[in-house]
Amino acid sequence: MKILIIGAGGFIGSHLCEEILKSHKDWRVIAADITSDKIRHLMSEGNFDFRRIDILTDLARTEESVEECDAVFPLAAIANPRIYVQDPLRVFELDFEANLRIVKWAAKYGKRLIFPSTSEVYGMCRDEEFTEEGSDCVTGPICKQRWIYSCSKQMLDRVIYACGIRDNLRYTLFRPFNWVGPRLDDINDEGGRSRVVTQFLSNILYGKDLVLADGGAQIRCFTFIADGIDALIKITENKDNCADGQIFNIGNPYNRCSIRELANRILRLAERYPQLKDSVAKIKIVDAASSDYYGKSYQDVLKRVPSVKKAEELLGWKPITGMDELLIKTMDFCFGAAGGQLRPDRSLQI
C-alpha cells in the first residue's frame, strides 16, 4: 500500500511516518510537507519518499501525489488557538480551502481518505462525554473568531460525509483530543505559537511564570502520541473494512485534567531535573483573562471529554498511557532536545 501523508513533517505526521516504516515494511510512504526537520532521520529509509510540496501553491504536484497513492492523510493545517484569533483567514485558506481540494481529488481518483477532524468540532457542547454520532457541534458568535478552525474542520467533515454518500468516497474521520508527546511544538519558540503543554515546558525552561487563561478550570483529556498513532495504524489496516465510513474520537478519557492541574503536575515533574530545580521553585502560576492572553475574539471550551467506545468496539483500540507517564516522556524529550544537557534525576520519586 502506498500512503500519502501531507503534513508529514508535523507532530502527528512525523510519528505516523516513523511507525509505518517500523511496523509495516510492505507499505510505502510519500511524505509531503514544506518542512522536514522532524523527519530528517527517516530520509534514508527505502520506503520513504519525501516531497517538498506547498499545498497552497503546488497544486499540480499535490494532485499528482494523490493520484499516485492508495490512501491519503491530509494532516497539513494550522492547529493553534492564537492564530485562529490573529489570522483567521490563513486558517480558512489552509485548513479548509487547501484541504477541500485534496478531498475532491481523493473522490475523483477513488482514493481512501483518512482525515483529521478535531475534538474542537464539538465546541461548547455540554455533554459529559462527546459521542461521534450523538453530540452536537456548538460554536459561538461570528465575532468570536476562534471558531474558524472548528467550523473549517466541521464543514470538511460534512463534505467528506456527503461525498461518501454521493461519490462513494472511502473515508475515515478521526478526532484527536489533545495529543501530546515528543516533537509536539518547538520548545524554543517564545512567540506563543505552542500548544499548552509545550508552552508550559518552554516557560519553565526560560524561568517564566505559567499563565492560566480564565482561571485554568478548563478540562481536557491528554492523549499520548503513541496511543494516537496506534489508532491511526489500526484505521489504516482497516481489518474487515472496520474503519470505512466511520468517525472516531481518539482521546484518553482516563487522563482528564484541568489546565490548572496540568500546570501543577508539570511543575512537580520538572523538579526531577536537577538543573531546573532552583528556577522551578521561583515559578508561579498566574491568571490572565483569555481576552488578554489570546485576544478579544477568543472563547473557551469548558470541558472536552471523549467517549472512545466506538474506537474500542470497531478498532479494538484503547489508550494506555497515563498522565504522568506521557508528561515525563514529553519532558524528557523536550528538555533533552533543548541544548541536549538537561537530564532528569531518575532516582527521585514522583
Residues binding ligand NAD (CB under 6 A): 7, 9-13, 33-35, 53-56, 75-77, 79, 94, 116, 118, 176, 178-179
**What would the grid cell of residue 148 be?**
474558524
C-alpha cell at 106: 481523493
Q: How far apart are CA 146 and CA 170, in angstroms?
A: 30
CB of 149 to ligand NAD, least distance (A): 7
Cα-Cα end-to-end distance for the chain = 44
Q: Using the minimum distance from each CB to ligand NAD, give the nearer residue, 76 or 269.
A: 76
In Å, what is the CA distance from 31 to each residue of 52, 67, 200, 281?
A: 8, 14, 30, 43
Q: Could you give the CA distance from residue 306 to residue 309 in angstroms, rounded to a whole number?
A: 9
Of residues 178 and 238, the one with the C-beta less far from ligand NAD: 178
Q: β-strand 28-33 against 2-6: which pairing, if any?
A: parallel
* Beta-carbon contacts of residue 237 (< 8 Å; ≥ 6 apart): none
- Cβ 178 to ligand NAD, closest distance in Å? 5
Beta strands in 162-245 (DSSP E): 171-176, 179-180, 210-213, 219-221, 223-224
Q: Which is nearer to ligand NAD, 4 or 76 (CB)?
A: 76
Please, what is the minimum distance in Å from the beta carbon of residue 276 to ligand NAD?
25
Q: Which three cell numbers stand for residue 315?
A: 478498532
Residue closer to ligand NAD, measured from CB, 38 or 272: 38
Nearer residue to ligand NAD within complex by CB, 77 or 283: 77
Least distance (Å) from ligand NAD to the CB of residue 213? 18
Which residue, 170 or 304, is less far from ligand NAD as judged by CB? Answer: 304
The angle at the Cα of 322, spanning 7 to 222, to the nearest 5 degrees, equals: 45
DSSP secondary structure letter of residue 123: B
- Residue facing ligand NAD at closest CB distance: 10
User: Which of 249, 309, 212, 4 shows the shortest CA–CA distance to 125?
Assistant: 249
Question: Which cell is 5 given?
Answer: 501523508
Nearest distance from C-beta of residue 228 to ligand NAD, angstroms: 8
Cell of 323: 498522565
> How do beta strands 171-176 and 219-221 pair?
unpaired
Which CB, 21 or 32, lies closer to ligand NAD? 32
- In the complex with ligand NAD, the residue whose CB is nearer, 152 or 297, is 152
C-beta of 341: minimal distance to ligand NAD in Å?
Answer: 25
> Between 88 and 176, whose beta carbon lies closer to ligand NAD?
176
**In whole angstroms, what is the distance from residue 187 CA to residue 202 CA?**
5
Pairing of strands 256-258, 219-221: antiparallel
Q: How far is the CB of 285 from ligand NAD (least distance, A)?
A: 23
Q: How far is the CB of 250 from ligand NAD (least distance, A)?
A: 9
CA-wise closest residue to 281 among 187, 215, 204: 204
Please, what is the minimum distance in Å from the beta carbon of residue 245 to ligand NAD? 20
